[in-house]
Chains A and B, each alone.
Chain A
Amino acid sequence: MVYRRHCSCTNPYSSATCDCHATPRFHSICMVSDFFYPNVGGVESHIYQLSQCLIERGHKVIIVTHAYGDRKGIRYLTNGLKVYYLPLKVMYNQSTATTLLHSLPLLRFIFVRERVSVIHSHSSFSAMAHDALFHAKTMGLHTVFTDHSLFGFADVSSVLTNKLLTVSLCDTNHIICVSYTSKENTVLRAALNPEIVSVIPNAIDPTDFTPDPKIRDRSRITVVVVSRLVYRKGIDLLGGIIPEMCQRYPNLHFIIGGEGPKRIILEEVRERYQLHDRVRLLGALEHQQVRNVLVQGDIFLNTSLTEAFCMAIVEGASCGLQVVSTRVGGIPEVLPENFIILCKPSVKSLCSGLEQAINRLLAGELLSPETIHRTVSTFYTWRDVAERTEKVCVYNRVAQEVVLPMDQRLERLVRHCGVVTGCIFALFAIVSFLLLNFLRWMTPDSSIDIAVNATGPNGAWLRQYSTERKHELTRKRDPDACKEPSDLSAEH
Chain B
Amino acid sequence: MSPVLQSPVLQSPGADHYSSLSWGAGNPPSGSVGSPPIWKKVLYEHQPFPDNYVDDRFLEELRKNIYVRRYHYWAVVFEAGVVIQQLCSVCVFSVIWWYMDQDLLSPQKLCGVGLALTLLGYLLFDAVDQGEGRRDSGRTHWADLKSALVFVAFTYGFSPVLKTLTESISTDTIYAMSVLMLLGHLVFFDYGANAAVVSSTLSINMAIFASVCLASRLPRSLHAFAMVTFAIQIFALWPSLQRKLRANTPWTYISVTFFFAIFAMAGLLSISSVGALLFFLLLLSVAFLCPYCLIRLQLFKDNIHGPWDEAEIKEDLSRFLD
Interface residues of A (CB under 8 A from B): 150-154, 170-174, 179-182, 184-185, 187-188, 191-201, 232, 234, 236-237, 239-240, 243-244, 265, 268-269, 272, 305-306, 309, 326, 328-330, 332-336, 345-348, 379-380, 388, 392-393, 398, 401-402, 404, 412, 415-416
Taking a contact as CB atoms closer than 8 A, the residue among B8, B44, B52, B61 that contacts A196 in the complex is: B52
Cross-chain contact A306 with B320 (CB below 8 angstroms)? no
Among B2, B5, B6, B308, the one with the most A-chain Cβ atoms within 10 Å of its Cβ is: B308
Cross-chain contact B7 with A191 (CB below 8 angstroms)? yes
| A269 to B23 CA separation, bound complex (whole angstroms) | 52
13 more CB-based (< 8 A) A-B contacts, given A196-B3, A335-B44: A153-B305, A154-B309, A172-B4, A180-B43, A191-B9, A194-B54, A195-B5, A236-B313, A240-B320, A268-B321, A330-B43, A379-B44, A415-B6
- Nearest B residue to A185 by beta-carbon distance? B308
* Cβ contacts A to B, 18 pairs, < 8 Å: A152-B308, A184-B58, A188-B10, A193-B6, A193-B23, A195-B25, A197-B52, A198-B51, A200-B51, A272-B321, A305-B310, A328-B311, A333-B44, A334-B43, A345-B312, A346-B315, A347-B317, A416-B6
- Nearest B residue to A176 by beta-carbon distance? B51
| B111 touches A (CB below 8 Å) | no
Number of A-B residue pairs with CB-CB distance less than 8 Å in the complex they form = 159
**By DSSP majority rule, is chain B's interface helix, strand, loop, or mixed?**
loop
Cross-chain contact A239 with B317 (CB below 8 angstroms)? yes
| B169 touches A (CB below 8 Å) | no
Q: Which of B34-59 contact A (CB under 8 A)?
A: 41-44, 50-52, 54, 58-59
| A192 to B59 CA separation, bound complex (whole angstroms) | 13
Interface residues of B (CB under 8 A from A): 2-10, 23, 25-26, 41-44, 50-52, 54, 58-59, 61-62, 303-315, 317, 320-321
Cross-chain contact B317 with A240 (CB below 8 angstroms)? yes
Residues of A within 8 A of B313 (CB): 234, 236-237, 305, 345-346
Q: Separation in Å of the B297 CB from the closest CB of chain A?
A: 16
Residues of A within 8 A of B321 (CB): 239, 265, 268-269, 272
Residues of B within 8 A of A336 (CB): 42, 44
Cross-chain contact A192 with B307 (CB below 8 angstroms)? no
Q: Separation in Å of the B195 CB from the closest CB of chain A?
A: 12
In the A-B complex, the 4 residue pairs with the closest CB atoms: A345-B311, A198-B51, A195-B25, A185-B308
State whether A412 and B4 are in contact (beta carbons under 8 Å apart), knowing that A195-B26, A195-B52, A347-B317 are contacts in the complex: yes
| A398 to B3 CA separation, bound complex (whole angstroms) | 8
Cross-chain contact B44 with A181 (CB below 8 angstroms)? no
| A347 to B321 CA separation, bound complex (whole angstroms) | 14
Cross-chain contact B9 with A199 (CB below 8 angstroms)? no
Residues of A within 8 A of B307 (CB): 181, 184, 328-330, 332
Cross-chain contact B54 with A195 (CB below 8 angstroms)? yes
| A401 to B1 CA separation, bound complex (whole angstroms) | 8
Residues of B within 8 A of A404 (CB): 2-3
Cross-chain contact A326 with B311 (CB below 8 angstroms)? yes
Cross-chain contact B4 with A170 (CB below 8 angstroms)? yes
Residues of B within 8 A of A153 (CB): 303-305
| A151 to B307 CA separation, bound complex (whole angstroms) | 11
Residues of B within 8 A of A179 (CB): 43
Residues of A within 8 A of B314 (CB): 346
| A201 to B44 CA separation, bound complex (whole angstroms) | 9
Residues of A within 8 A of B311 (CB): 234, 305-306, 326, 328, 345
Residues of A within 8 A of B52 (CB): 194-199, 393
Cross-chain contact B310 with A188 (CB below 8 angstroms)? no
| A335 to B308 CA separation, bound complex (whole angstroms) | 17
Taking a contact as CB atoms closer than 8 A, the residue among A174, A194, A335, A347 that contacts B58 in the complex is: A194
| A199 to B58 CA separation, bound complex (whole angstroms) | 12
Cross-chain contact B317 with A306 (CB below 8 angstroms)? no
State whether A269 and B320 are in contact (beta carbons under 8 Å apart), knowing that A180-B41, A188-B10 are contacts in the complex: yes
Cross-chain contact B43 with A201 (CB below 8 angstroms)? yes
Taking a contact as CB atoms closer than 8 A, the residue among A172, A333, A346 that contacts B42 in the complex is: A333
| A172 to B4 CA separation, bound complex (whole angstroms) | 8
Residues of A within 8 A of B62 (CB): 184, 188
| A346 to B316 CA separation, bound complex (whole angstroms) | 10
Cross-chain contact B51 with A306 (CB below 8 angstroms)? no
| A306 to B312 CA separation, bound complex (whole angstroms) | 10
Cross-chain contact A237 with B317 (CB below 8 angstroms)? yes
Among B54, B61, B303, B311, the one with the most A-chain Cβ atoms within 10 Å of its Cβ is: B311
Cross-chain contact B308 with A182 (CB below 8 angstroms)? yes
Residues of B within 8 A of A244 (CB): 320
| A39 to B53 CA separation, bound complex (whole angstroms) | 34
| A379 to B45 CA separation, bound complex (whole angstroms) | 7
Cross-chain contact B317 with A196 (CB below 8 angstroms)? no
- Nearest B residue to A314 by beta-carbon distance? B44
| A421 to B314 CA separation, bound complex (whole angstroms) | 37
Q: Separation in Å of the B193 CB from the closest CB of chain A?
A: 16
Taking a contact as CB atoms closer than 8 A, the residue among B2, B44, B305, B320 that contacts A239 in the complex is: B320
Q: Separation in Å of the A137 CB from the closest CB of chain B?
A: 11
- Nearest A residue to B314 by beta-carbon distance? A346
- Nearest A residue to B9 by beta-carbon distance? A191
| A45 to B317 CA separation, bound complex (whole angstroms) | 34
| A437 to B59 CA separation, bound complex (whole angstroms) | 43
- Nearest B residue to A265 by beta-carbon distance? B321
